[in-house]
Structure 1
Amino acid sequence: MCKDLMNQSQHLQRVVDHFTTEQIANNRLQLKATIFIVRYLAFQAIAFRGRDESFSSLNRENFHESLGIVTFWNKKVAEIIEKAPKNATYTSPRIQKEILHVFSAKVKKAIREEIGDAKFCIMVDEACDESMKEQMAVVFRYVDAEGFVKERFFGLIHVVDTAALTLKKRIYSLLSQYCLDIQNIRGASCKRNEQLKVANANEIAPLIDLEELEIGSGLNQIGTLQRPGETHSQLQELNYRFNEDAMELLRLSSALEPREALKSFRISDLCLLVKNFYPQDFTDYDKQVLEKELYHFEHNVVQDPEFKKLKSLSELSQWLVRTGNSEHYKLVYRMVILVLTLPISTATTERAFSAMKLVKTELRNKMEDDFLNDSLMLYIEKDIASTFSLDSIVDDFKDLKERRVPFS
């Protein structure tokens, strides 16, 4: 008798466990359908909501119409949604925004991890959105662990005014929120005429006005450092547009550029570059060792047949990491990434505002700042967001707060 009761109990437990497992799988599938649509709409900068989303509407607008396509081709999803409790369909505007925020938070976390302890530059610009709010776009420029130069959009911040002090406070707050060390800043620039000075960045490395660097004669768009133009008119233009410090920085840094190094590897210029512009990044001992390391670099690396194929400083950075020379010549590689960290263009911040015009249109001018910011993170950094699995988004969504149905 006892054995029969035990067997019945175990059978009942298996039925309950099976039901729970099946229900959880269904709940996750239902939520993944919503996540899939949110991601698609955000990637394409398409509006989520419409004027009339009622069941009787012939056009329930993009989210619900997209959901209709998914359920038309996936009968299991359609069945699950149909049977779901009315208070747990996970398709409401609030849920859509929560999913979008999960994506955005994961993108920022990935960027923060990519930066790591690297030195970085802050690039900011301001513009008014469709509702005439002043927005500040923040972009980080840095070299990642594989030697690639990255410029990552890190968010849009609403500011009450564009005074330097206001911008500085908001940037400090952002850095603190993501545990980014102010001491790692190696440049902070604003597209406006005045420079934006953050902490002691102006003492650590030169701050160059982005308006000046846009002429491209000193730095081109792919990170290749070149000597100023050879003609008299080009030299006059450079002298007019750049201050003396910027001109000296460009001249000394050009010694690192592969094509220049092949002509004449100017060791004295590189030692002077460290002394004049990066004293905080090299100890006294480093400076003593640097000249010897540069000598070995000239004879062992610059003469490498593969080195002769390199066309830019960014290519050199990647090649040094790929070949392991970034470890053998640490001081040289440190110089390379510090120079590459300098801002050379306003293109990324300008693209952010172009994206803002696509997302916050005249018909969507009441978008909240958080919704706008999260939408832009996915649209601009979709190469990162696209790497996240739907299941990982479900798990993070579940952890935001207590949910009505189980997802694990």
Structure 2
Amino acid sequence: MLIHMLTRQGKCDQDSLLKRPRKKKDQVDPIKTGFDRPPGTMSKDVMARFLNKRKADEIGSSSDFVDVNDLPSDPHDRKAIASYNVNQRDDVRRAYLLRGPCQPTGIKYPTSTFQGKELRKFKSDRVFCLCCYLFRSEFGDHRDTFVLNGYNNWKKVHEVLTKHVGLVNSAHNKCFQKCADLLNEKQAVNTQWDKRTPKEKRDYKLRLSASTLLGKRLLNGGLAFHGHDESKDSLNKGNFLELLELMGEMNEELGKVILENAPANNQMTSPKIQADIKHCYAQELLKQIFEDLGDDVFSLLVDESCDVSKKEQMAVVIRYVDKVGIVKERFIGLVHVKETSALTLKSAIDDMLARYGLSLKRIRGQGYDGASNMSGEFNGLRALILKENVSAFYIHCFAHQHQLVVVAVAHKHTPIWRVFETITCLTNAVCASSKRQDMLRESQRRQLEKMEDVLCTGSGLNQEMTLSRPGDTRWNSHYKTLSRLITLYPNIMEVLGCIVETGQTLPCSRQADGLLEDMKKYDFVFYIHLMEHILNVTHTLSQCLQRKEQDLMNAVKLVSSTKNQLEKFRLEGFNEFLEKVNSFCDMYELEVKNLDDEYINPRWPRRKTNISNRHYYEYDCFNAVLDLQIQEFGNRFNEVTSELLLCISCLSPCDNFSAFDIPNILKLAGKYPYDFDEAEKRRLPVQLGNYIDFVKKDKQFANLDGLSSLVRLMVSTNIHVTFTLVYRLLKLVLVLPVATATVERCFSAMKNVKTDLRNRIGDENLSDSCICYIEKDLLKKVPLDDVLDRFQKMKTRRATF
């Protein structure tokens, strides 16, 4: 499990260590420590080291305790073990060991072996030895390069690593053995002196297993563990204690060992125990994610939002391609940031990635919204990461850009803005009280009874509806509002009429009367139908962009397809649209404009306009709104014409690989200097030629619709082993993010976990709860034995079983 613990700054290489030579009987240890001397004898050097160690212990004992969960991950930021409180040093060591060595990242992906040419690219990386850092002070030696400053000379890396590891009885191997002993609780002193009977040990395991399984179910539902009053006489002690008591009532054997029947200091129900159980599940879940990721590259999706206690939380999601070729986006945690400047966010991301053994050099894509501190070209988070990794390409969230398109149209076109303002007032008036909503439902029920003979029946049809309130930052919700407004149009008119007649206050009655007059206008009906159609066309795009497995190439095609539909509607759809509006007006006895009459401007009714109604509604209204929409699509989605996407399109399997172009694909490979060396770049054109010849002849690759399906098919047919360079390039393309919808879902989950009644939940507790609540599919796969094992290793003074 622990393989020498050699780590780099932010990364390590377990496979780089050579096998240690066995010690011969006549060999002498290169490092004399004095531990092999007979009892009662001690050299002067060992005595000096002992005195220095005791002095360091006295200095460390005067320091305050620290939070082991906030230990620095960067080796340069780590303090000496002797500087920690003497009673907390083992806890610090255990925290670093449970965190584990960092994953290999300086290696050219996807291989995981040391080669001199590959390592020379990463001379800035330094290798540190974790086990020597943790226990070298026990031997009084702090001069080792791998402990203090790190090693970064890769010319003779094998020789230096072999020398550092040394013989069987070397200082490094002794430190490594101490690391293994620290995590082996069965040989601890308190375990050896444990006089409990086997029955007591079985009862403890049963009690702990029950608490752990119960915690898993509560985490899966995002439910609270604690209750407001957990005293003995409380009628509701909280979900955890109440459900544990229920489990004891259903299982007689379990009921005999839990709660009051358990020792007072070993009931496994305290808040600290519950927090440790959450942390264990979260760490095991993250372990699955990082094992699935392996040594592969990934993209970073980041956004920040306030929780219910007004703390700024930064959510971090990674996007990668798993071993079977499926694109996955996984949430890895929340970080509380006191300010949202780019430097603060960058520091928080560095710390999180280092804690999980990831590195910025493995990032191949960044996905943010349009905030300047995130996507700023010069000083934003995007620019700071690009300075360290030129292959971390930035993609502006497509869903956010799509939202900005609709917002721009609503702000630039005055009549559209007025319509949305009217709809807001209308929603407030109709949905202001439960009485008015009941009136709306009753009106809808009577209407359905009249149309009972002609209605289609079935599951989900003819349901009760109310006028939904549109979201300020979710303009896609306006489509739902407009569609319901058109469906409930006569019912809303009836409710407004009742408010006018029976209004309790004069302002309320006047507001309803004004809204009633606005709804009867032809312009209002015209614009709500126009925006409903536009939002209906773009609604499909919005839904597709929010899919986790959506790749960048398909997203670009969807944007182009949506733009083409709007252009076609502008050229050919006015007559059909006008018939739809006129039929709606005839149905509800509204005024219908004669298109041949001269248009009269309501502001200046006596002034001649010299244009017909048809000219005004077709050119000044219909075409003007659609032109604004199409123009904003072209301005916002400017990445469509970029060189990167042009090169990516050449890998598309659509139309039997008709867009395949080797020169552009080679340009794409040149944008990833960390993933292809010079030898592989020379081999790539030949492999691309063999690859395109193979896939065009194979019928399985004939009807593919995107890069995602192509990669999955390559893995299922084992072709990715033959064309490794092409498969690597396809994975790099799929890793590029499309939208930050997954991050937004994380914030929605955070609001379910941290509510008004749970607004004091801690940052780490919140992050652990959100990880388990969001990644439910992985939570189900976490084995109970792994959680129990991790729980036991977290602290020393815990009973064993």
**TM-score if structure 2 supplies the norm length?**
0.46
Deviation for aligned residue 1:60: 1.4
Equivalence for 1:139: 317
Which of residues 282, 298, 310 in structure 1 aligns to 2:704? 310
CA contact (8 A) 1:212 1:242 kept: no
- Residues 249-283 of structure 1, C-alpha deviations (whole Å, 9 max, x = no match): 223212222214433423333223223x3344222
5 Å matches for 1:199-218? 200=387, 203-210=390-397, 215=402
1:161 aligns with 2:339: yes
5 Å matches for 1:1-80? 20-80=197-257
Counterpart code for 1:384:
L
Cα gap change, 1:260 to 1:169, in 2 (>3 Å)? farther
CA contact (8 A) 1:214 1:346 kept: no
Equivalence for 1:282: 676
Structure 2 distance, partners of 1:115, 1:235, is: 40
Equivalence for 1:265: 660
Deviation for aligned residue 1:330: 1.1
Q: Secondary structure at the match of 1:208?
A: strand
CA contact (8 A) 1:119 1:186 kept: yes
Cα gap change, 1:245 to 1:289, in 2 (>3 Å)? farther
Structure 2 distance, partners of 1:323, 1:290, is: 21
Cα gap change, 1:115 to 1:139, in 2 (>3 Å)? same
Q: Would you say how many aligned residue pairs link Structure 1 and Structure 2?
A: 389
Structure 1 distance, partners of 2:317, 2:401, is: 16
Counterpart code for 2:642:
M
- Residues 146-185 of structure 1, C-alpha deviations (whole Å, 9 max, x = no match): 2121111010000011111110011111111122122111
CA contact (8 A) 1:208 1:246 kept: no
- Residues 22-52 of structure 1, C-alpha deviations (whole Å, 9 max, x = no match): 3322211111111111111111011111211
Identity of aligned residues (%): 40
Equivalence for 2:762: 368
Structure 1 distance, partners of 2:207, 2:307, is: 35
Counterpart code for 2:732:
L
CA contact (8 A) 1:223 1:313 kept: no
Deviates more, 1:220-229 or 1:338-347: 220-229
Structure 2 distance, partners of 1:282, 1:332, is: 11
Structure 2 distance, partners of 1:200, 1:58, is: 59
Q: Secondary structure at the match of 1:302?
A: helix
Structure 2 distance, partners of 1:257, 1:157, is: 38
- Residues 222-265 of structure 1, C-alpha deviations (whole Å, 9 max, x = no match): 33424642639598555411345863322321222221443342
Which of residues 352, 355, 365 in structure 2 aligns to 1:177? 355
Structure 2 distance, partners of 1:338, 1:161, is: 33
Deviation for aligned residue 1:112: 1.9
1:254 aligns with 2:649: yes
Q: Secondary structure at the match of 1:86?
A: coil
Deviation for aligned residue 1:287: 2.4
Counterpart code for 1:349:
V
Deviates more, 1:47-56 or 1:263-272: 263-272
1:339 aligns with 2:733: yes
Structure 2 distance, partners of 1:336, 1:143, is: 10
Cα gap change, 1:310 to 1:20, in 2 (>3 Å)? farther
5 Å matches for 1:215-226? 215=402, 220=545, 221=547, 222-224=549-551, 225-226=553-554
Q: Secondary structure at the match of 1:256?
A: coil
Which of residues 782, 786, 790 in structure 2 aligns to 1:388? 782
Deviates more, 1:133-142 or 1:219-228: 219-228
- Residues 282-334 of structure 1, C-alpha deviations (whole Å, 9 max, x = no match): 22332222222111111112331111243321122122122221111111111
Q: Secondary structure at the match of 1:127?
A: strand
Structure 2 distance, partners of 1:94, 1:269, is: 57
1:149 aligns with 2:327: yes
CA contact (8 A) 2:714 2:720 kept: yes
Counterpart code for 1:273:
L
Counterpart code for 1:268:
P
Equivalence for 2:149: none
Q: Secondary structure at the match of 1:52?
A: coil
Structure 1 distance, partners of 2:745, 2:759, is: 19
5 Å matches for 1:290-309? 290-309=684-703
Cα gap change, 1:80 to 1:205, in 2 (>3 Å)? closer
CA contact (8 A) 1:253 1:339 kept: yes
Structure 2 distance, partners of 1:329, 1:204, is: 22
Cα gap change, 1:244 to 1:64, in 2 (>3 Å)? closer
Cα gap change, 1:34 to 1:212, in 2 (>3 Å)? closer
Which of residues 284, 299, 302 in structure 2 aligns to 1:121? 299
CA contact (8 A) 2:399 2:740 kept: no
Structure 1 distance, partners of 2:388, 2:328, is: 20
Structure 2 distance, partners of 1:389, 1:169, is: 34
Cα gap change, 1:304 to 1:22, in 2 (>3 Å)? farther
Structure 1 distance, partners of 2:755, 2:265, is: 31
Structure 1 distance, partners of 2:744, 2:244, is: 33
Deviation for aligned residue 1:21: 3.2
| Pair member with larger Rg | 2
Q: What stretches of structure 1 of length at least 5 have no aligned partner?
A: 1-16
Counterpart code for 1:76:
E
Equivalence for 2:795: 401
CA contact (8 A) 1:186 1:201 kept: no
Equivalence for 1:8: none
Equivalence for 1:353: 747
Equivalence for 1:99: 277
1:378 aligns with 2:772: yes
Deviation for aligned residue 1:349: 0.3
Cα gap change, 1:340 to 1:66, in 2 (>3 Å)? same
CA contact (8 A) 1:212 1:241 kept: no
- Residues 106-131 of structure 1, C-alpha deviations (whole Å, 9 max, x = no match): 11222222222111111100000000
Structure 1 distance, partners of 2:247, 2:707, is: 47
Counterpart code for 2:687:
E
Q: What stretches of structure 2 of length at least 5 have no aligned partner?
A: 1-193, 376-380, 403-540, 568-628
- Residues 36-75 of structure 1, C-alpha deviations (whole Å, 9 max, x = no match): 1111111101111121111211211211111122111111
Deviation for aligned residue 1:353: 0.2
Cα gap change, 1:309 to 1:24, in 2 (>3 Å)? farther
Counterpart code for 1:257:
S
CA contact (8 A) 2:361 2:389 kept: no
CA contact (8 A) 2:201 2:800 kept: yes
Equivalence for 1:321: 715
Counterpart code for 1:296:
N
Q: Secondary structure at the match of 1:301?
A: helix
CA contact (8 A) 2:324 2:716 kept: yes
Cα gap change, 1:308 to 1:182, in 2 (>3 Å)? same
**TM-score if structure 1 supplies the norm length?**
0.88
